[in-house]
Structure 1
Amino acid sequence: MNLESFPVFLKDKKIPVISNSAPSKGVELTNVDFSVSNIVRLKSILSFFSYLNINGKISDEAFEVLVRYACSIFIENEIEARVKDVFEQKIKNFWESKLSSALEKYITTK
């Protein structure tokens, strides 16, 4: 999605760049780290939108829409991460309790 396609968002055509503060590849994060990282990003983005609104770069209407959009993305990401973690844990538990012992018995009988 591009803000330039929504003229209500900007009073002029200049769009400041928001840097991505995501960690580099190869760095493993726990769910708690991921959640904290998302909260920090959300706060940063909301501060940026507030700055744009205060300085007249975006209207109050655009500010409200952007804040709702950013919050909805945050909530979606949090729910997705939590569901993924629960699903992975359930599969791991199933594997350890059912399939692992059956596979071990199968291997030892061959």
Structure 2
Amino acid sequence: PTGRLGIAYPFLFPSLKGRLNAAFQIDGRFEGRKTATAYWIGSASADLRYGLEYWYDSKIAVRYGIEQHEKVDQMAGAGLRLPLGNTTLGLDYAFLSNAFNLDDTHRISGSLIF
């Protein structure tokens, strides 16, 4: 079984027309993973994720995050929100480094918010 606990908090910067979101998450498992995790005691283990996201004028975002398991992966990205009448078009890009033998990953996504 896996349990997840997370927290996020926005820091507002009105003079900069921005908002900084800070987030932290811990994944707890009881599977005896030992060396396949960041921290372990007996059969209990935990992996950590934390990151920052800055939004300028609720339209442009930059992101950075770390995932800590038996190795450390880093992620960075950017986002764009364009109002189109009653709809908002969203475009997002993320770069994920991989600490294992897999190649790095580029993710691109789009969204429509009605």
TM-score by length of structure 2 reads: 0.25
TM-score by length of structure 1 reads: 0.26
More strand as a share of residues: 2
